[in-house]
């Protein structure tokens, strides 16, 4: 006999209304997951209030103290109790939840923070006295006067003291502080004209500044570029491309790094929709797809991209944390990112990141060979030089007696034409071309460079003539569910451009009549199932195209100049000129650089000539 179910009793359960404190604590579990979530909500409120300067202070990773100070419009004293109630907001009137123009709109953050921590708000509106109100574990206090110049100061102490079980799920102070820093950085990228300060005030003393991001100046692109240099570093700013694309009401702006400036993980990918930082798998998949042709699977692009559109075209009310969005036309958003990035990468031509040269110089630093000799240790003029060591006396004056025949005198190098990749001067190890430029030298990997050139040529030919399809003698019939069958048939026209011909076969079956000839014998059923997985995960599928391009890449690899082959000067120069004229030639098909450029000043520094 089976045991009775523990949740079933003889008496029916009683339905009761939860009290306000319990409701707020439940809501806080979705809105305030960790200290960084609290910082995010308070920062968004400050930005919505029109703040131009925001200071964030925290102690012990935000567990014991979070304080956000802004110079925004403030909250009127009479509105402070209402601001701490659930679903009270000044951002919307509730008539249209698809026309959101602010960061916050749900009216849950302050109530949630007051339910799980000790919250104090001090605020002053211009022309009115400052007021202060507190809430402790959901219990509201009476407003009282406060001394304040203007703006708002929100202080949260002992976060989750009312829900101690949640404290067990927090990470170390260092990890929580890092998450707070990431939140501040993301919002600082979205608002480059706002001054952000992040301070750690843990322990005794005045604390220390973690970030101090001054408000940027200039137009939007200049301001964003300056802010990205502050947040992501000068290297990203120097090796990124400006993105500006528009399609059917959606616009894409921002900066994306060159393929040769890639990362080992996706930590340098920042995506925004209408200024709101989001973590959306559709956008991440589009970013990955745009770089698919330039990076290997273990490398990830770096980018800060901003999608702007009419608020009615995107739903931001998907999750209480507002970190997910849903586009009315996901395919349009994905296509805009892929095409915009690929166009910018193509316009970059043969450009490679400067970090490649920096790594090369670092690898070429000479090892110290002995103690440094200072000027004071050298023999003074007029002093007798020490006698030469035995065995060296006979060489004295030998170099002065060497006569060089006139025909062997090497004149200064011929004038170098102003080519971006210079003029070939030689080949070493039958694989590396040394070229001289007007201001330095270039070292080219001949196999990697020619591999990219052949690959781009094959892709151009495929785009011009299409993908050859081979008709199956007996069509392959594949069964799917009705929904999957409909999704595949919606993509039939796209798939046919790459040689995969499908059509309905009655019921929920699909007939595969053609497959791409270049792929040879394929399992059509498995390929279609993989296409379905991509459609479900990313809203679009490039699987057939990526497989074809993988074949072309292998053909290019085997058909390019092999390592170990000697090249004549005219061949080397022809390769350099073709690289200059071919997009993406700065990296091979696997994302590795095809050349390294060293400036003359860098070379002279290697030899101590500066």
Do 279 and 182 meet the contact criterion of CB atoms below 8 Å apart?
no
- Helices 524-538, 281-290: crossing angle, 10 deg rounding: 120
Do 39 and 211 meet the contact criterion of CB atoms below 8 Å apart?
no
Q: Which domains does the chain have, with CATH numbers?
A: 20-213 (3.30.565.10), 220-347 (3.30.230.10), 416-610 (3.30.1540.20)
Q: Looking at per-residue confidence, does 144 or 521 come out higher? A: 144
**Confidence category of residue 374, pLDDT binned at 50, 70, 90:** very low
pLDDT (0 to 100) of residue 309: 92
Task: For the beta carbon of residue 463, count every other beta carbon within 10 angstroms.
Answer: 10
Residue 599 CA to residue 495 CA, distance in Å, equals 47
Write out pLDDT tens, residues 191-220: 999 999 999 999 888 889 999 999 998 888
Do 316 and 273 meet the contact criterion of CB atoms below 8 Å apart?
yes
Residue 577 CA to residue 455 CA, distance in Å, equals 16
Residue 213 CA to residue 229 CA, distance in Å, equals 10
pLDDT (0 to 100) of residue 517: 83
Residue 5 CA to residue 19 CA, distance in Å, equals 28
**Confidence category of residue 62, pLDDT binned at 50, 70, 90:** very high
Write out pLDDT tens, residues 74-114: 998 888 988 888 766 666 655 555 666 677 666 677 888 88
Do 593 and 260 meet the contact criterion of CB atoms below 8 Å apart?
yes
**Confidence category of residue 404, pLDDT binned at 50, 70, 90:** very low
pLDDT (0 to 100) of residue 456: 86
What is the pTM for the complete model shown? 0.74
Question: What is the average pLDDT score of the chain?
Answer: 81
Can you say how many angstroms the Cα of residue 417 is from the centroid of all Cα atoms in its chain? 38
> In terms of Cα–Cα distance, which of 341, 354, 302 is closest to 593?
354
**Confidence category of residue 397, pLDDT binned at 50, 70, 90:** very low
Write out pLDDT tens, residues 406-426: 444 334 445 557 788 999 999
What's the mean pLDDT in 273-282?
A: 88
User: In this structure, are strands 131-136 and 118-124 parallel, antiparallel, or unpaired?
Assistant: antiparallel
User: In this structure, are strands 432-437 and 469-479 parallel, antiparallel, or unpaired?
Assistant: unpaired
**Confidence category of residue 296, pLDDT binned at 50, 70, 90:** confident
Write out pLDDT tens, residues 161-201: 888 888 888 999 999 999 999 999 999 999 999 999 999 99
pLDDT greater than 50 at residue 382: no
pLDDT greater than 90 at residue 368: no
Tokens read off for 99: 């026309």
**Confidence category of residue 66, pLDDT binned at 50, 70, 90:** very high
CA quadruple 68, 70, 72, 75: dihedral sign: positive
């Amino acid at each position: 006999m089976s045991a009775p179910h523990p949740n079933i009793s003889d008496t029916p359960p009683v339905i009761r209304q939860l009290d306000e404190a319990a409701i707020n604590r439940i809501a806080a579990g979705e809105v305030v997951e960790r200290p960084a979530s609290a910082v995010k909500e308070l920062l968004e409120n400050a930005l919505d209030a029109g703040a131009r300067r925001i200071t964030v202070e925290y102690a012990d990773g935000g567990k014991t103290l979070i304080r956000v100070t802004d110079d925004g419009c403030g909250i009127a004293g009479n509105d402070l109790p209402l601001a701490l109630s659930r679903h009270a907001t000044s951002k919307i009137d509730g008539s249209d939840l698809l026309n959101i123009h602010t960061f916050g709109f749900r009216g849950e953050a302050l109530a949630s923070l007051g339910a799980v921590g000790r919250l104090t708000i001090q605020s002053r509106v211009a022309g009115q006295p400052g007021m202060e109100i507190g809430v402790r574990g959901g219990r509201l206090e009476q407003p009282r006067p406060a001394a304040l110049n203007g703006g708002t100061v929100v202080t949260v102490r002992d976060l989750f003291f009312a829900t101690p079980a949640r404290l067990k799920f927090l990470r170390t102070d260092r990890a929580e502080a890092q998450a707070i820093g990431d939140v501040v950085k993301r919002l600082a990228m979205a608002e480059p004209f706002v001054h952000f300060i992040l301070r750690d005030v843990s322990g005794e003393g005045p604390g220390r500044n973690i970030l101090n991001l001054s408000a940027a100046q200039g137009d939007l692109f200049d301001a964003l570029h300056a802010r990205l240099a502050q947040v992501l570093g000068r290297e990203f700013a120097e090796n990124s491309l400006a993105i500006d694309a528009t399609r059917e009401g959606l616009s894409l702006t921002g900066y994306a790094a060159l393929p040769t400036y890639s990362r080992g993980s996706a930590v340098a990918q920042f995506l925004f929709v209408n200024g709101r930082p989001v973590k959306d798998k559709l956008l991440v998949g589009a970013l990955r797809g745009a770089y698919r042709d330039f990076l290997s699977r273990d490398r990830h692009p770096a980018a800060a991209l901003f999608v702007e559109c009419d608020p009615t075209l995107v739903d931001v009310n998907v999750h209480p944390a507002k970190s997910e969005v849903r586009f009315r036309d996901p395919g349009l958003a994905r296509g805009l990112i892929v095409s915009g990035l690929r166009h910018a990468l193509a316009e970059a031509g043969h450009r490679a990141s400067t970090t490649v040269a920096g790594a090369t110089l670092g690898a070429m630093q000479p090892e110290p060979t002995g103690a440094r000799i200072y000027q004071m240790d050298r023999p003074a003029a007029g002093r007798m030089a020490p006698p030469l060591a035995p065995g060296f006396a006979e060489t004295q004056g030998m170099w002065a007696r060497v006569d060089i025949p006139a025909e062997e005198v090497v004149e200064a190098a011929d004038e170098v034409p102003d080519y971006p990749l210079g003029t070939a001067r030689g080949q070493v190890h039958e694989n590396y071309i040394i070229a001289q430029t007007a201001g330095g030298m270039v070292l080219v990997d001949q196999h990697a460079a020619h591999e990219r050139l052949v690959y781009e040529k094959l892709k151009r030919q495929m785009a011009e003539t299409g993908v050859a399809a081979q008709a199956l003698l007996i069509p392959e019939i594949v069964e799917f569910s009705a929904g999957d069958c409909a999704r595949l048939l919606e993509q039939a026209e796209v798939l046919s451009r790459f040689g995969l011909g499908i059509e309905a076969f009655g019921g929920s079956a699909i007939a595969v009549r053609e497959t791409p000839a270049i792929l040879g014998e394929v399992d059509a059923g498995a390929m279609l199932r993989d296409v379905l997985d991509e459609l479900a995960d990313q809203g679009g599928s490039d699987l057939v195209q990526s497989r074809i391009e993988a074949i072309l890449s292998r053909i290019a690899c085997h058909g390019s100049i092999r390592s170990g082959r000697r090249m004549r000067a005219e061949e080397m120069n022809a390769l350099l000129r073709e690289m200059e004229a071919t997009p993406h030639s700065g990296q091979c098909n696997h994302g590795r650089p095809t050349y390294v450029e060293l400036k003359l000043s860098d070379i002279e520094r290697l030899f101590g000539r500066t």
